[in-house]
Structure 1
Amino acid sequence: MAGPVRVAILNDYEIVVAGVARMLAPYADRVRVVETATGVPPMGDCDVVLYDTFSQSQGNVLDVQEVAAMTGAQVVLYSWNLAPSLVSEALRRGAAGYLSKTLDGEGVADAIVRVADGQRVLPGDSEGREHGAWPGQEHGLSAREAEMIALITQGFSNLEIAERAYLSVNSVKTYIRTAYRKLGFTRRSQAVSWGIQHGFLPPEPRRTDTGRGMTSVAAPRG
């Protein structure tokens, strides 16, 4: 492919897509972020849609085929959940790649280029720290703990969170307990109130590269 691969980053949280965009910025000679979309599929021209799965229903909500059809782009999922059944389901739905969040910016950029060249990229070794950004990171929350707070703030029960995140209910309870301990909470209502105050309800702006820099475009409300 001549020139850098045009990439759109998709997630419900501005902080998440902005963090991934910053991570890819040093590799602009290979991948150029042309849009950061929150809440709805990208609208601009791009070659690859990089979908960050933070706080998303793993394998269920995002219709990969629909996003690919709307954008004409290859869709790549970027996740810490590497369950083989989940990877297989994403590929069945038409994903061109599935990346582990333990990849750093260079690894993600390389994978995006390979996908744009027609290769299918799958997760390898899952060991290592998570990259990117997420709500609550500055308060010491891990990405998984932050996801639990985000889903609690959105009103999901522990069982619904487990189904959404492909985790056992016991694992969900463990992540919630550690998050509560870090934040000094004893009640779910405290987590909801704190989550609302600290941006854990998904915002709806999107940003598009018009050729004059990144601009904000409001996502439509249902």
Structure 2
Amino acid sequence: MTIRLLLVDDQQLVRAGLRMLCENADDLEVVGEASTGADAVRVAERTRPDVVLMDLRMPGMDGIRATATILASYPATRVLVLTTFDDDDHLYPALAAGAVGFLVKDASPADLLDGIRRAATGERTFSPDVLGRVVKSAVAAHSDRERLPPAPEMGLTARESEVLELISQGLSNTEIADRLHVGITTVKTHVTNLMSKTGATNRVRLAMLGLRGS
């Protein structure tokens, strides 16, 4: 399957580098570029990409509003945010707008391509350090630490506790499967069970619980 990709960044040099990297991958096709949020919305309407690589800080409509607007019309599209070290205030709002994950702009080419592929399948994708920052932002902004149950009282199995700890470290389902020497389907089942037992609605909330129990 070819993944149709839209690149959104206000810096032409960044977009050129991303295009060069992605076009060298046999399973990726760059179907459009945009330098502003408003442009991203228009190009997404025209090209219907599978994945959008979205910058957050842009003139006019920013990446958060663009993400929400695109997903309102095309909920099957996956938005993967490219972030810098000083974008912390934008991370949780972007997640709330529907982004499936965050990668740092200085990620290795292999990590970036892997993140795009995982996002295309619907898997949430986070650079480990970014996940920690998202969790901190969520705690500060929404006081979830007060509303979530203490980790020891959630009735988790030993293996579910292991999976929860690895989620809190920012590992993907594939990485967890490799670490625990189990199949990816098994990991997905554990994640589903964790969400059911904890009431967490996404991977960030699970990570928050894992950090509380550590």
TM-score, normalization: structure 2?
Answer: 0.49
Specify which structure has the bigger relative contact order, considering alpha-carbon pairs within 8 angstroms and separated by 6 or more residues.
Answer: 1
Normalising by structure 1, we get a TM-score of 0.48
Task: Name the structure with the higher helix share.
Answer: 2
